[in-house]
Amino acid sequence: MLKRLPAIIILALFQTALFADDFTPFTGKSGEVAEKDLIPSFDDSKNRSNEFYNEWYSFIFRLKDGYFAYVQFLISNLGLGDGNAAVIADLELPDGRKFKYKKEFPLGKWEYSKDSFSLKFGENTVKWQGKGVAINLKTDDYEASYEFTNAAASFKPGNGTVYYGSGKKNYYSVQIPLPYAKITGKIKVNGEDSGREVKGHGLFDHSVTNQGLHEQARRWIRFRSLDSKATLLFTELHTAERYEGKKANFFVFYKGGKKFFDSIAVELKPVKFKVDEFSKHKYKIPMEIEVSGAEEGVALKGKIIVKKITGREDYLETLGGVKKMIVSKFAQPVQYYLKASYELEFQGKDGVETFKGTGDLYFTQVHE
C-alpha cells in the first residue's frame, strides 16, 4: 500500500484507450506472496510497450527515537520512452533535519534479476534476503542500509488482481509481502564522523498496473494503520463510469503479527462528508466510514473517523501548458491526506473482541 500514488501516473491521463466494459474484482481465497511474485513484470508482453504500465515497491517505516524514513522504487513507461525507473527516499532526523531524494534512471541504467527479487537502480539496491529484504541507498545527503525482517505472514487479497476488459490484459495487482516487519538499519549522513543505528517496524507493499488511472478508478479509498500491536490495511477502488462504477476492495487486520481477519467483501459506507471548496467540482471528502462484513464465521462492524485533513494535492497544478489543458478534459484528480481513528468489533464463536487505533486515510477523487 502507497504513501501516495506516484505523481508520474498522472502524466498519462490525457491518453485514451478503448477497453471493454467488463470488470473482474479480486476473487478467491486470500493467499501468501512468493518471492517470484515480486519480480518486475516489465518484460511481460502485456506491459513492455504499454504506456500505462507502472510498478512500484513501497517501504513504510515506523522508526524509534524520532527518526522517520520512506523508500519507494518505481518502474514506468509513462512519458517519453519506456522502462523508466526511479528511487524516492525521505529521511528525517531527530534534530528536525529533513532530506528528500529522487533519482530517475532511463532504460539501460537500471537492472533486475529475472530469477529472484533483486533490483539495482544505479547505486541503490533492494533484494530478497532470508525472511525479508535488504535495502541500500546512496543519496546526495546520506547513505543508508535497512533490513526488513518478516514478522507476519505475507498477504495478497484473493488472487491479488483485478482485471479490466474481457481479455484480462489490463489489470491492477497488489501484494503485501511484509505486512509487519522488524527494521534495523544504519545511516551515515554526509559530514558526520560516525553512523547512526535505527530500529523499528514497518511494511512493504508491491503494486503493478497497466491501466490508465482515469480508466482505472473514479475514486480510491485507502487506509493504513501500523503499530506494534495491530496492523490494519484496506483499499476500496470505485471504477470509472464505463465499468458501471463497480467496486473492488480488500480488508486485512493483523493482531500481534498474526492475521486475525481478512476479506475481499467488506462494505465501506461513507456516512459523513466535507465538501472541498477549493475543488471546481466540490469533491466530497469522506469524514466517517461505516465498516461491515463477515468471513468464516466472524462478523465485523466498525467505523473510521477522520480527525484531521493534513494535506491536499491537485495533480493538475503539477502540470502546465498543453498537458494541463488536455488532462482536464478527462480527469481532475485530487488526493487528500487524512488522519483518522478506527474502532472495530469482531464477533465470533468465542465472543466479541474490540480494537481501536489511529492511522492514515488516503482519498483520491479522479473525476466526478
**10, pLDDT greater than 60:** no
Buried/exposed code over 189-201 (b: 16+ C-beta within 10 A; e: otherwise) = beeeeeebebebb
Q: What is the mean pLDDT of residues 4-15?
A: 46
**145, pLDDT greater than 60:** yes
One-letter amino acid of 209: T
Q: Write down the H helix ranges in 195-340.
A: 213-216, 321-330
Q: Are 286 and 275 in contact (CB under 8 A)?
A: no
Query: For the domain bounded by 7-365, which CATH number is listed?
Result: 2.40.370.10
Angle, alpha carbons 303-307-308 (nearest 5°): 140
**18, pLDDT greater than 70:** no
**102, pLDDT greater than 80:** yes
Q: Are 177 and 206 in contact (CB under 8 A)?
A: yes
Tens of pLDDT, residue by residue over 297-324, are: 999 999 999 999 999 988 766 655 654 5
Nearest-angstrom CA–CA distance, 292 and 197:
42
Q: What's the whole-number average pLDDT of the chain?
A: 90
Strand order in the sheet with 334-348: 258-263, 247-255, 230-238, 219-226, 351-365, 334-348, 298-314, 284-295, 267-275
Q: Are 239 and 254 in contact (CB under 8 A)?
A: no
Tens of pLDDT, residue by residue over 26-73, are: 999 999 999 999 999 999 999 998 888 999 999 999 999 999 999 999
Give the model's pLDDT for residue 318: 64
**13, pLDDT greater than 50:** no
The CA distances from residue 119 to 72, 128, 133, 178, in Å, are 12, 9, 11, 17
Nearest-angstrom CA–CA distance, 90 and 58:
12
